Amino acid sequence: MQKSKIRNMQEFSALTGLSRPTVSKYFHDPESVRQSTRARIESALAEHDFRPNIYAINQNRSLTKNVGIVVPYLADPFFAELARQIEQCCLERGYRPTLFSAHGDPKLETDILDNLRSLKPAGVLLAPLGRASDRKAIEAFCADVPTVLFDSGIEDVGLAFIGSDSPQFADLMVDYLCRTGELPCFFEMKTPSNPNANRRRAGYIAAMERLGHVPRIVSVPGTGWAFEDIGWREGIAAIDARAFETGTVLCSNDRLAIGFIRACFEKGLKVGRESSHDIRVAGMDDHPLARFTCPPLTTVAQDYDAIARQSVDVLFRAVSGETVSHEVRQFEGRLVLRDSA
């Protein structure tokens, strides 16, 4: 396999003695050419190591193997992990995923969608920013490109919405917390960046009322995606202000909880479920690091695997011609009992 200056398929095909389209056919499916032809190509390949230009391929293909994956904030380990699993699913099925992060910026999200059109993707998996998203832009995009929304849905937009059953998450945890100790207060950002926060609050309220309790919500200021920081700073402020009427705090998500646990630590509040502890703290998501707080965080686990697998599944079913009516699939959460609550 020597260094070579093969610039394109034409040049490569020349030194096999075959025509370019035949070689092209081989690259599309090695089995589709005669055995003798295949051997000639592969021996040439062994010496010259040519690879077709993937973007030129996709420019002309009627159906490409490209898949776009868009998440709102990739530096959030939750999305990083989910994106990773989705990428793997796509690769396993022989597709070419490309990952994009909106970095929390609606403008960037729209730009990404615009660029994605140029990629001519077979389909797109999109976790929208949520409230901040340019809804019209997303609708327009979904009308043009087969798109599955995941994590956060927009009513009747896209082929499907695959995510978690946010109210059920809250319900599950509220039920557990009420059964086992003091009633939970709900700790959240007043203007949350992540899109499921409102549904979680609603779920909390509904669950509390169902059990005959008065919801107690502590909404704190803060914008952006530095949730741990907000959980910490505003957690301290809330503790100082005696904002929590009970000794149990349900955080809107694990990252907030991670920050809040540090706040408790600093204020000398011992977190845990034993009666010797001062406060119980729970989160939601089963963030990759939720197992590593001290004490480890009790939370409701998102089914990463099911969301990834199902999203990819629905997308490829639709792409391969199956007519799919707008499907909504919200996986239930699983209570993960650790020591924090």
Contacts of 158 (CB under 8 A, 6+ apart): 126, 142, 147, 148, 149, 326
From candidates 178, 206, 289, 335, binder to a copy of itself by CB under 8 A: 289
Which residue shows structure tokens 């040519």? 50
69 binds a copy of itself (CB under 8 A): no
Give the largest Cα separation in the chain, rounded: 82
Phi, psi for residue 25 in degrees, rounded to 5: -60, -45
Which residue shows structure tokens 């706040």? 263
In the complex, the smallest distance separating the C-beta of residue 51 from DNA, rounded to whole angstroms, is 7
115 binds DNA (CB under 7 A): no
* Pair 254, 260: CB distance under 8 Å: no
Which is closer to a copy of itself, CB of 119 or CB of 173? 119
Within the chain, residue ranges assigned H as helices are 9-14, 20-28, 35-48, 54-60, 77-92, 106-119, 135-144, 166-180, 197-210, 227-240, 254-266, 304-319
210 binds DNA (CB under 7 A): no
Q: Residue 80's binding partner, choosing from DNA, a copy of itself, none, with beta-carbon cut-off 5 to 8 A by kind?
A: a copy of itself
30 binds DNA (CB under 7 A): no
7 binds DNA (CB under 7 A): yes
**Which amino acid appears at position 256 of this protein?**
L
Q: Residue 22's binding partner, choosing from a copy of itself, DNA, none, with beta-carbon cut-off 5 to 8 A by kind?
A: DNA
Q: Residue 326's binding partner, choosing from DNA, a copy of itself, none, with beta-carbon cut-off 5 to 8 A by kind?
A: none
Q: Residue 7's binding partner, choosing from a copy of itself, DNA, none, with beta-carbon cut-off 5 to 8 A by kind?
A: DNA
From candidates 39, 46, 49, 63, binder to DNA by CB under 7 A: 63
Which is closer to DNA, CB of 9 or CB of 341? 9
Q: How many CB atoms lie within 10 A of CB 296?
A: 16
24 binds a copy of itself (CB under 8 A): no
From candidates 4, 24, 85, 219, binder to DNA by CB under 7 A: 24
233 binds a copy of itself (CB under 8 A): no
Contacts of 222 (CB under 8 A, 6+ apart): 189, 190, 191, 229, 230, 233, 234
What is the distance between the alpha carbons of residues 153 and 156, in angstroms, rounded to a whole number? 8
5 binds DNA (CB under 7 A): no
Burial 298-309 (b: 16+ CB within 10 A, else e): bbbbbbbebbbb
Q: Residue 288's binding partner, choosing from a copy of itself, DNA, none, with beta-carbon cut-off 5 to 8 A by kind?
A: a copy of itself
296 binds DNA (CB under 7 A): no
Burial 176-202 (b: 16+ CB within 10 A, else e): bbbeebebbbbbbbeebbbbbbebbbe
Q: Which residues bind a copy of itself (CB under 8 A)?
A: 3, 51-56, 58-59, 74-75, 77, 80-81, 83-84, 87-88, 96, 98-101, 103, 114-115, 117-119, 140, 228-229, 232, 258-259, 261-262, 265, 288-289, 291-296
Q: Which residues bind DNA (CB under 7 A)?
A: 7-10, 18-22, 24-25, 27-28, 32-34, 37, 51-53, 56-57, 59-63
